[in-house]
């Protein structure tokens, strides 16, 4: 019943002959989205949702606390700091491209770019900075890109998501496309992102505990033991697509950036916990 009420609010689509759907309202969506998870997991503190499966499963949390005594992402933090602080060939730095020198801003990404009408992720902003300074873009999803985003995420740890949807119809349209992508069934298995991370949140699948969608991006980039390396948000989107037998999109595809925008806005108020680690 709770799931049906949530979907009724979040999926705006009218059948033939039905009354027109109400105008999209992201804040109404966010309140309904968060209320669903707060009701589903009444014993989880709201700020804990950024810890994903560790917030909703006690045995996993115990294992995680042991792992976090020596976090496997620490080498990436060192690499990310070194890369971020190294000057470009023209003498400028990454810090020249970002608000507050790039310190403590991860919670404000993704952003809507009023010039291009597109969603800019932190990954995209890093590469845009490089290109504007005469450097080649970094390879996406892993490697130095994951390390730099890890370093920048660490500086935002504990800061709540603060995603803005400006009064621009293009921004609202991008948000709506991200929402549609999240709830649309895809691939040979017919799964939606919501199948696992809304209805199935907290349940076990193939030995994994499915993370709630609320705060699910707060810990990124993450070190996954099955990857044996760090990965960015759209690396996870790519792997999820493959696992549901859908055709993965290219890294930083518009659809991936828009679903990141949607999920990040849904998590407004949930603190950043990244970089993180997952099984």
What are the percentages of helix, strand and coil residues in the chain, rounded to 5? Answer: 50, 10, 45
Q: Which long-range contacts (C-beta less than 8 Å, at least 24 apart) are formed by 23-30?
A: 24/172, 24/175, 24/176, 26/165, 26/172, 26/175, 26/265, 29/179, 29/266, 30/265, 30/266, 30/268
Active site residue 193: no
What sections of the chain are H helices per DSSP? 2-10, 26-40, 53-56, 58-67, 74-85, 122-132, 143-154, 169-183, 193-194, 233-243, 254-266
> How many whole angstroms separate alpha carbon 29 and alpha carbon 21?
14
> How many whole angstroms separate alpha carbon 124 and alpha carbon 239?
19
> How many whole angstroms separate alpha carbon 51 and alpha carbon 115?
34
> How many whole angstroms separate alpha carbon 87 and alpha carbon 267?
34
Question: One of 97, 193, 196, 240 is an active-site residue; which one?
Answer: 240
Contact between 52 and 278 under an 8 Å Cβ cutoff? The reply is yes
> How many whole angstroms separate alpha carbon 22 and alpha carbon 97?
39
What positions carry a catalytic annotation? 240
């Amino acid at each position: 019943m709770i799931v049906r009420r949530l979907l009724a609010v979040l999926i705006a689509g009218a059948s033939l002959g039905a009354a027109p759907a109400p105008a999209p309202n992201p804040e109404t969506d966010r309140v309904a989205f968060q209320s669903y998870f707060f009701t589903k997991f009444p014993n989880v503190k709201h700020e804990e949702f950024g810890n994903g499966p560790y917030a909703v499963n006690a045995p996993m949390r115990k294992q995680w606390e042991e792992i976090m005594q020596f976090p496997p992402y620490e080498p990436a933090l060192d690499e990310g700091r070194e890369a971020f602080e190294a000057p470009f060939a023209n003498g400028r730095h990454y810090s020249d491209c970002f608000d507050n020198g790039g310190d403590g801003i991860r919670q404000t990404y993704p952003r809507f770019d009023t010039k291009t009408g597109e969603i800019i992720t932190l990954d995209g902003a890093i590469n845009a900075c490089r290109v504007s300074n005469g450097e080649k873009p970094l390879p996406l999803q892993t490697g130095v890109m994951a390390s730099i985003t890890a370093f920048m995420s660490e500086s935002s740890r504990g800061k709540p998501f603060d995603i803005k949807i400006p009064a621009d119809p293009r921004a609202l349209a991008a948000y709506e496309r991200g929402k549609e992508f999240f709830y649309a069934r895809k691939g040979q298995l017919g799964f939606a992102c919501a199948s696992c991370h809304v209805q199935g949140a907290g349940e076990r699948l193939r030995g994994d505990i499915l993370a709630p969608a609320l705060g699910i991006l707060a810990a990124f980039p993450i070190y996954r033991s099955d990857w044996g390396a760090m990965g960015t948000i759209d690396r996870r989107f790519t792997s999820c697509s493959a696992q549901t037998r859908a055709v993965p999109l290219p890294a930083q595809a518009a659809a991936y950036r828009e679903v990141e925008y949607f999920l990040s806005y849904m998590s407004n108020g949930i603190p950043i916990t990244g970089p993180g680690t997952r099984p």
